[in-house]
Structure 1
Amino acid sequence: MKPTILMAPRMPARLVERLQEHYTLLGPMERSAPEALPAGADAAQALLTIGTQKTDAALIDALPGLRLIACYGTGIEGVDRARAKARGILLSNAADANAASVAEFAMGLLLASARQIGAAERFVRAGRWKGNAVERMAYVPGLAGRKLGIYGLGAVGSRIASRAAAFEMSIGYHNRSRRDLPYLYHDSLLGLAEWADVMIVAVRASAETRHAINAEVLKALGPQGHLVNISRGIAVDEIALCEALETGVIAGAALDVYEHEPLVPDRLKALDNVVLTPHIAANAETAQIAQQDLMLANLAAFFAGKPLLSPVAL
């Protein structure tokens, strides 16, 4: 008999097909709540979910057979880790499977914002380009020689750093601890912002990182500064960011994530000095296949009684 597993959000078709080959697959669920559980969920030994979706104590306790929570992406913030630990439930995520994809997208957003690529496209589409002799866009600083501050030098942040080095940028970072990497460590986020010309946010969602990018940090980044966020929306105080963009406290921003997804504040939508994308940094085909394969490998290891390939400590 195939083991029973439960899929909370809808997963990619390729992954679902492969899961159905080896498991009795239940779901997806309308919402992650006990009252939305499908028939037979009490037999589920593994729950497949994503970090932004709530997996709270009530849902965990409504699944008496649950022994593994497998997150499709790298995020784990929606999981009640204390309750999972108390129940002896294992937790896994995608580790660094999508790190390269997110890092390259971060550099794309940085270029789009700092080099005004979106504004340039609107300039051309509006028919304003009459040739360099008549009208052209204002000069902006390039990236070469500028200082990039990375908030969070984990799997994604370190890959951003290596890519930024190829752009001849100076690289500094703020992390919970110093890394053994050849970049300038700052022991405070404010100190990093004061040093940096541009900043990329690459931290996990947590109580510690919530609204870490606030009005004080944005002011320190300065009027030629640009902010890029490809991590989690809660790391940036969106009200403070809107005010900074509206008043010229910083020059621009590029966001792939938002505090209350899929809602994007109208104030952000109204601004020309911000680039907005719909949480797609990890949407490279290679990254998605790697995440799917890792989830399948974790499930196979779990049901074979072997160690998980990408366990998360509880």
Structure 2
Amino acid sequence: MSSQPEPGAEPGSGRPDVLVHRLPSFALPFLALLRDHFTVLDPRTDSPDEPAHAFLARRAGRTRALVCVGPTPLPADTLRLLPSLRLVVATSAGVDKIDLRECRRRGIAVTNSGAAFAEDVADYAVALLLDVLRRMSASDRYLREGLWLKNGDYPLGFKLGGKRVGIVGLGNIGSQVAKRLQPFSCDIAYNSRSKKPSFPFPYYTSVRDLAANSDVLILCCALTEETRHVIDREVMTVLGDRGVIINVGRGGLIDEKELVQFLVRGELGGAGLDVFEDEPNVPKELFSLDNVVLSPHSAVITPESFEALGELTMSNLKAFFSGQPLSCLVQGE
């Protein structure tokens, strides 16, 4: 008796179809890995001159799995072109660009990649914090511009040891941040959707109360309707003029216009920002501030993280097509 192809497989291939949504050029090795195991549908390489919606209607109607690369929008109108879709594998930790409501309505499972990126992002968050407090980037510029010779020693920075650090979102990334800060003897507290009994840190039900009892806020949570602008004027006010904000989550977690004004007026002590509300546009008012460290959404970008991402993505796709449990499930079918 002849074997039958998996549901959603291209006839004669014996391999399941996997649609890749908006693959950037730096992820080409990732595409090669997928092609070793699946029939990959990629509008950018398969039909670069054809409108994406036409490609989806023509080639992807039977596709059951989609890999959404990076913070790529996946709105309801795109999902409607994929009537057989049952799995979205997001290669980013955040899934705010995916219409989760439509996925839930359709019974489409969604996974993210937070576990693959957690350690690298946590490293980056602590590096940003050290840079903001000790002014490493600013003192580097001071030296290169000849100002050490001309003006003498650079102004003092601040130590990290003993700081009260509030973590907003104690998930994969936030828990790794906490782990890295403990050797610095920081007093760690957190806000999250719910209390985490396995962690010994004080829990605050509101971000405002967390800020009122912190010297530093580190943002590691997902961007949702509930968390958009969770760092607002009131939170910045109670954090105070020596308070520091580190954001490795999403730009929309902060009311960016208010943040700029607080920093320009000296009403916040500093900020380390890897993400912004309107990337790649960054408020120019921040460029001249020595107490602000800016980064182009690169906390997750290491060869090691991409290798881990590839393994996690492959694991979830193989699990899906063999009926096994998924990892890093954001929402189930």
Q: Hey, what's the Cα distance between the residues in 1 that align with 2:164 and 2:294? A: 23
Measured against aligned partners, the alpha-carbon deviations of 1:246-300 in whole angstroms (never above 9, x if no partner) come to 0010121110001111221222234332111111111122222111111011111
Q: Matched residue of 1:267: which SS? A: helix
Instruction: List structure 1 segments (4+ residues) > 4 angstroms apart after TM superposition.
Output: 28-33
Identity %: 36
Q: Hey, what's the Cα distance between the residues in 2 that align with 1:145 and 1:311? A: 36
Q: Hey, what's the Cα distance between the residues in 2 that align with 1:235 and 1:36? A: 35
Give 5+ residue unaligned stretches, structure 1. Answer: none
The two structures, once aligned, show a CA RMSD in angstroms of 2.1
Report if aligned partners of 1:32, 1:55 keep a CA contact under 8 Å in 2: no
Counterpart for residue 307 of structure 1: 325
Counterparts of 1:16-55 in structure 2, within 5 Å, are 16-29=31-44, 34=53, 37=56, 39-50=58-69, 52-55=71-74
TM-score calculated relative to the size of structure 1: 0.93
Report if aligned partners of 2:215, 2:243 keep a CA contact under 8 Å in 1: yes
Task: Name the stretch that deviates more: 86-95 or 244-253.
Answer: 86-95
Q: Hey, what's the Cα distance between the residues in 2 that align with 1:164 and 1:59? A: 42
2:107 to 80, 88, 101: 88
Amino acid at match of 1:34: H
Report if aligned partners of 1:51, 1:76 keep a CA contact under 8 Å in 2: no
Give 5+ residue unaligned stretches, structure 2. Answer: 1-12
Counterparts of 1:145-224 in structure 2, within 5 Å, are 145-180=162-197, 181-224=199-242
Q: Hey, what's the Cα distance between the residues in 1 that align with 2:57 and 2:41? A: 7
Say if 2:139 is the partner of 1:124.
Answer: no
Q: Matched residue of 2:167: which SS? A: strand
Q: Hey, what's the Cα distance between the residues in 1 that align with 2:139 and 2:57? A: 50
Q: Hey, what's the Cα distance between the residues in 1 that align with 2:54 and 2:248? A: 33
Q: Hey, what's the Cα distance between the residues in 2 that align with 1:5 and 1:60? A: 14
Give the Å deviation of 1:130: 2.7
Report if aligned partners of 2:168, 2:191 keep a CA contact under 8 Å in 1: yes
Report if aligned partners of 2:18, 2:41 keep a CA contact under 8 Å in 1: yes
Q: Matched residue of 1:299: which SS? A: helix
Counterpart for residue 29 of structure 2: 14
Give the Å deviation of 1:35: 5.0
